[in-house]
Structure 1
Amino acid sequence: MDMPSAQQAIACNKDAWDQSASLHKTTDTWHAMLKRVGNAGFSCLDPTITGVLQDIGVAGKDVVQLGCNNGRESLSLFALNARSVVGVDQSAAFLQQARELAEVSPHAPEFIESDIHHLPQRLHERFDIALVTIGVLGWMPDVALFMRHAASTLKPGGTLVMYETHPFLEVFDPRAQNPLLPASSYFQREPFVLQESIVYEGRGALAGPTSYWYVHTLGDLVNAAIGADLQISHLQEYAHSNREELYDQYEHQPAQLPLCFTLTATKRPA
């Protein structure tokens, strides 16, 4: 199979996310969130990323979330007393959901439709913190390019904060007969070709539009940060899963895998 260009993959991924958006509004999670988001202290951030953000200090700062999906995490940043929050995503359908949540919330984030590779100039060097959370990196064909664009949103001295699935987990297939047997190479460079809707909450696979998922090693990520003139100040790996329920089986193993990580890096002053 011929692999798509980076531009083609990005366009396919956008289409896949837009077409999958409606499936997320039928979940118990969505209805529960609509009820909770009106609380000024609403947060869906887990203790791991909450702790990292508290250590950095969000209070009084301007924050951008790159790949904000339906805005639930962007809205959660106000519970940490962010001064302003901007959520960026390329899926118009998910941003519509973000605006629905914001209408119920007492807070007023701004949501911007944009591919990370074509960020509007007004976001350049505007933020104290740029947040990237679970399930963003895999949709990016070129992690070094992604990191440069992420860094471009930060003021000098600003901090990139990342909470992502550990790339080593991509070696395994959670649906395989033996899910602990490596199924693909950690160093695979061709993307996984997916032909199912993008759904969570342990649902079975549903046929959907083609999308492309890329694996970037932890070394790739570290080098990408260095190449974007970011100084890494924290890299921590964890044994808990921060992905769909299907991946919970990888927790509490006698020979435990790394399942997720946090990273912080500071933009060097000009």
Structure 2
Amino acid sequence: MSDYLTVNKANWDNRALLHAASADYAVSTFESDPAHLSGVVQFDLPLLGDIRGLRGVHLQCHIGTDTVSLARLGAQMTGLDFSPTALTEARRLADRTGDDVDFVEADVYRALDVLPASSFDLVYTGIGALCWLPSIDRWAAAVAGLLKPGGRLFIREGHPVLWSIGEEFSDSLRIVYPYFEQEEPLVWDDDDTYVETDQRLTATTTNEWNHGMGEIVTALLRHDMEITGLVEHQSVPWEALPGQMASDGTGEWRLDREQWRMPLSYTLQAVKR
């Protein structure tokens, strides 16, 4: 396996600047409207519920818009990310909005080196995060290690079935890539990112992995977590399969026909025993 952390960190340092400047992340709206929430967190609200007063950590927080949104819902939030550039943008956002959020630098597997064990009521992971991690078991260990007994994991993520579909085909759904976790990563070389921008990435290589649903659930159970909810959704917040999807007007994208054919994302919740 290559030094995936170095490769992926360079890519995400590059992306962070473009994302902070893009309309898609709505940084200026966060600054002007103290009630504004990210689209990701707005989608999560019905299942997330009341988090007022909870001590929470957002793993792989990127530039902090979801973290700030959770703080605006009343949680005492810390964001963790491995990209120093992303954290600079996240801290700048919180400084400008006045939201009380801490940000710390580490990759997920080193979370317990920089954060106190068994001290959080909520571990939150937003969509598009797990594919950057080679081992789902090590992720589950970090989640369980951060949570207090009775603390909750909340994650919405792209469905592993979706990650296995080849997006290069616009006329059919074809399983092309691994559904199950593999030791070696899928290596991509792409100068595009997922926001509207006229700039291109210069650090273009990424290493990614898929993790099957059974692997995710089993890893959490192995680390003393009890699954309390699993909902599969027919939408995802980006055009994951170009030519086969349509926006529903809420920031979510759905298959443009026969939406029952496959799930696109899921929300999983679990509690630390």
Q: TM-score of the superposition, structure 2-length normalised?
A: 0.86
The answer as to 2:29 corresponding to 1:35 is yes
In the other structure, the counterpart of 1:216 is: 211
Out of 6, 13, 16, the position equivalent to 1:18 is: 13
Q: 1:156-235 counterparts in 2 under 5 A? A: 156-187=149-180, 189=182, 190-197=184-191, 199-201=193-195, 208-235=203-230
In the other structure, the counterpart of 1:258 is: 263
Is the alpha carbon distance of 1:33 and 1:122 closer, same or farther for their aligned partners in structure 2, counting shifts above 3 Å? closer
Q: Is the 8 A contact 2:11 2:206 kept in 1?
A: yes
Equivalent AA in structure 2 for residue 103 of structure 1? D
Q: Deviations over 1:48-74 (max 9, x none)?
A: 3111111xx301111100000000000
In the other structure, the counterpart of 2:96 is: 104
Instruction: State the distance in 1 between where 2:180 and 2:118 align.
Output: 33
Is the alpha carbon distance of 1:70 and 1:13 closer, same or farther for their aligned partners in structure 2, counting shifts above 3 Å? same
Q: Deviations over 1:154-198 (max 9, x none)?
A: 111100111100010012122335352222242362321012246
Q: Deviations over 1:123-171 (max 9, x none)?
A: 3111100001111100100000111011111111100111100010012
In the other structure, the counterpart of 1:62 is: 55
Instruction: State the distance in 1 between where 2:176 and 2:77 align.
Output: 40
Instruction: State the distance in 2 between where 1:174 and 1:134 align.
Output: 18
Q: Which sections of structure 2, spanning at least 5 residues, go unmatched?
A: 246-253
Deviation at 1:264, TM superposition (A): 0.6
Q: Which stretch has the larger CA shift, 195-204 or 152-161?
A: 195-204
Is the alpha carbon distance of 1:244 and 1:95 closer, same or farther for their aligned partners in structure 2, counting shifts above 3 Å? farther
Instruction: State the distance in 2 between where 1:206 and 1:51 align.
Output: 35
Deviation at 1:203, TM superposition (A): 6.6
SS at match of 2:171: coil
Count of equivalent residues = 259
Instruction: State the distance in 2 between where 1:267 and 1:197 align.
Output: 40
In the other structure, the counterpart of 2:234 is: 239
Instruction: State the distance in 1 between where 2:176 and 2:240 align.
Output: 19
Instruction: State the distance in 2 between where 1:216 and 1:203 align.
Output: 30
Deviation at 1:10, TM superposition (A): 2.2
Q: Which stretch has the larger CA shift, 9-18 or 60-69?
A: 9-18
Q: Which stretch has the larger CA shift, 232-241 or 111-120?
A: 111-120
Q: Which sections of structure 1, spanning at least 5 residues, go unmatched?
A: none
SS at match of 1:176: coil
The answer as to 2:99 corresponding to 1:94 is no
Q: 1:77-88 counterparts in 2 under 5 A? A: 77-82=70-75, 84-88=76-80
Instruction: State the distance in 2 between where 1:101 and 1:244 align.
Output: 26
Deviation at 1:122, TM superposition (A): 3.7
Percentage of matched positions with identical amino acids: 29
In the other structure, the counterpart of 2:248 is: none
Q: Deviations over 1:3-46 (max 9, x none)?
A: 42xxx21232112211232222342234x322333433221134
Q: Is the 8 A contact 2:227 2:271 kept in 1?
A: yes
Deviation at 1:207, TM superposition (A): 5.9
Deviation at 1:116, TM superposition (A): 1.2
Instruction: State the distance in 2 between where 1:157 and 1:73 align.
Output: 23
Deviation at 1:241, TM superposition (A): 1.6
Instruction: State the distance in 2 between where 1:172 and 1:206 align.
Output: 24
Q: Which stretch has the larger CA shift, 198-207 or 210-219?
A: 198-207
Q: Is the 8 A contact 1:66 1:130 kept in 2?
A: yes
State the superposition RMSD in angstroms. 2.2
Is the alpha carbon distance of 1:145 and 1:104 closer, same or farther for their aligned partners in structure 2, counting shifts above 3 Å? same
Q: TM-score of the superposition, structure 1-length normalised?
A: 0.87
In the other structure, the counterpart of 1:142 is: 135
